[in-house]
Amino acid sequence: MNETDARARIATDFPDAVVAAGGPAITVTLPAPQWRAFARFVKDTVGCRFFSFLSAVDWKDEGLEVIAYVENTDEHVCVLFKTRLGAGQTACESLLPVYRGADWMERECFDMFGVIFDGHPDLRRMLLPDDWVGHPLLKSYAVDTPYPPYR
């Protein structure tokens, strides 16, 4: 499915989603409950089988925003989809049932931002030590928190 058809299908199948005009990738802003359903759609229908990355943005008072980027490498269709979890919310649907590649990405996102991915079977810390306290890429994390004897 090429990019024009993909945009049309997204507009008909997901009327709540906001699709940005133009850009190098199809940028879709979703309501949070449609997160996994959209990933399933974009993998099976649009054919984006390559899971590029998953990350998050901390918008302070407005809460966390989770971002994923998938590509259809055959027809060069790239889809960037993101969702706002809401102020103070950390729960998000896991993409692991759809993409195996989301496993370590979601673990890293949990590690750095504290996003709890529902449906992830093994949500442990990815990069930081197991006894680390806090999630350091949140804006509210104090970098000078004592960590004797190292900091």
Residue with Cβ nearer other proteins (13 or 44) = 44
Q: Which stretch binds other proteins (CB under 8 A): 25-33, 50-58, 85-93, 141-149?
A: 141-149
Is 114 among the residues that bind other proteins (CB under 8 A)?
A: no
Can residue 128 be called a binding residue for other proteins (CB under 8 A)? yes
Interface pick for other proteins out of 20, 31, 91, 100 (rule CB under 8 A): 100
Among 4, 12, 122, 146, binds other proteins (CB under 8 A): 122
3-state secondary structure 14-76: CCCCEECCCCCCEEEEECHHHHHHHHHHHHHCCCCCEEEEEEEEECHHHCEEEEEEEEECCCC
Least distance in Å: CB of 137 to other proteins?
8
